[in-house]
């Protein structure tokens, strides 16, 4: 075996060892994160999903939920997504308006529906398959109040409803928020308040 071959084998071994150590550390970190966050869900219902534990599933108020940590990257600020499994007939979304999204609205690339609430219309960009249904939903005081509580949670970035789920997002990634059990409990409570006020019953599968 030549010196070059030996060097290549050693280099490969070092890389594989480093990858293995990193995987073990990430798995341990995920387990610790799960142990911190599990108490936010209904007692005894939570479980870690995936090798690295970036997802946690459990029940909250009778709704199946999935909480996903999204690491930050060069092109993505990361954050956290909370999915409630619900039964709904509509599709709509609300995103915190940014300079970029407002520009794309002006260019006609994105929609921005007005729902009739000046505060929400100023701060958020709404879209929906049925504009009338969305306005009717937000005409309900309980829905506006519940949405205002959810919107006020720190780092709230938006939400989207589909017939089988509602996804609420918080961004950018902030470990002090995304990995804190009390913050997660606040996010669960606020999202549960919205789906309940909106009359979306739980769907027992993801």
First to last CA, the chain: 55
Total structural domains within the chain:
1
- Judged against a pLDDT cut of 90, whether residue 84 lies above it is answered with yes
- Look-up of token digits 């709230």: 156
Domain-embedded: residue 39: yes
Kindly state the average pLDDT of the residues 167-186.
96
Q: What is the pLDDT of residue 20?
A: 44
pLDDT 10s digits, 9-59: 544 544 444 344 434 444 456 568 888 999 999 999 999 987 666 899 999
E strand or H helix at 1: none
Q: What is the pLDDT of residue 112?
A: 84
Domain-embedded: residue 108: yes
pLDDT 10s digits, 128-153: 999 999 999 999 999 999 999 999 99
Measured from the Cβ of residue 45, the count of other Cβ atoms closer than 10 Å reads 13
Average pLDDT of the residues of the chain? 85
Give me the domain span that covers residue 150. Answer: 3-197
Give the closest residue to 43 by CA, choosing from 32, 28, 58: 58
E strand or H helix at 117: none
pLDDT 10s digits, 87-132: 998 999 999 988 787 777 777 777 788 898 999 999 999 999 999 9
Domain-embedded: residue 140: yes
Domain-embedded: residue 191: yes
CB 85 within 8 A of CB 55: no
* CA 6 to the chain's CA centroid: 47
Both tokens assigned to 137: 């939903």
Rounded CA-CA distance 124/206 in Å is 27
Domain-embedded: residue 202: no
Rounded CA-CA distance 13/206 in Å is 41
Q: What is the pLDDT of residue 97?
A: 86
E strand or H helix at 175: helix 175-178
- Look-up of token digits 């709904």: 88
Domain-embedded: residue 152: yes
Both tokens assigned to 149: 């509580």
Give the closest residue to 97 by CA, choosing from 78, 80, 84, 114: 114
More confident residue, 185 or 97: 185
Rounded CA-CA distance 194/106 in Å is 30
Domain-embedded: residue 131: yes
Both tokens assigned to 66: 């999935």
CB 95 within 8 A of CB 108: no
Instruction: Give pairs for 111-119: CB < 8 Å, separation 24+.
Output: 117/144, 119/148
Rounded CA-CA distance 29/38 in Å is 14
| Angle, helices 181-197/141-151, rounded to nearest 10 degrees | 160
Domain-embedded: residue 29: yes
């Amino acid at each position: 075996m030549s010196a070059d071959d030996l060097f290549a084998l050693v280099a490969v071994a070092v890389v594989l060892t480093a990858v293995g150590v990193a995987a073990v550390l990430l798995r341990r970190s995920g387990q610790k994160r799960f142990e911190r966050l599990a108490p936010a869900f209904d007692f005894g219902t939570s479980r870690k999903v995936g090798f690295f534990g970036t997802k946690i599933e459990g029940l909250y108020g009778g709704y199946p939920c999935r909480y996903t940590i999204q690491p930050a990257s060069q092109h993505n600020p990361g954050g956290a997504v909370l999915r409630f499994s619900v039964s709904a007939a509509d599709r709509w979304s609300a995103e915190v308006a940014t300079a970029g999204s407002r520009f794309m609205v002006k260019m006609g690339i994105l929609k921005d529906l007005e729902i009739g609430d000046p505060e929400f219309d100023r701060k958020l960009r709404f879209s929906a398959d049925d504009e009338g249904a969305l306005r009717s939903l937000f005409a309900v005081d309980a829905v506006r109040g519940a949405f205002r509580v959810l919107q006020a949670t720190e780092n709230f970035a938006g939400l989207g409803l589909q017939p089988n789920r509602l996804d609420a997002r918080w961004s950018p990634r902030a470990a002090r928020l995304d990995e804190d059990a009390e913050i997660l409990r606040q996010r669960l409570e606020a999202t549960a308040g919205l789906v309940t006020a909106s009359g979306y019953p739980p769907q027992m599968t993801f």
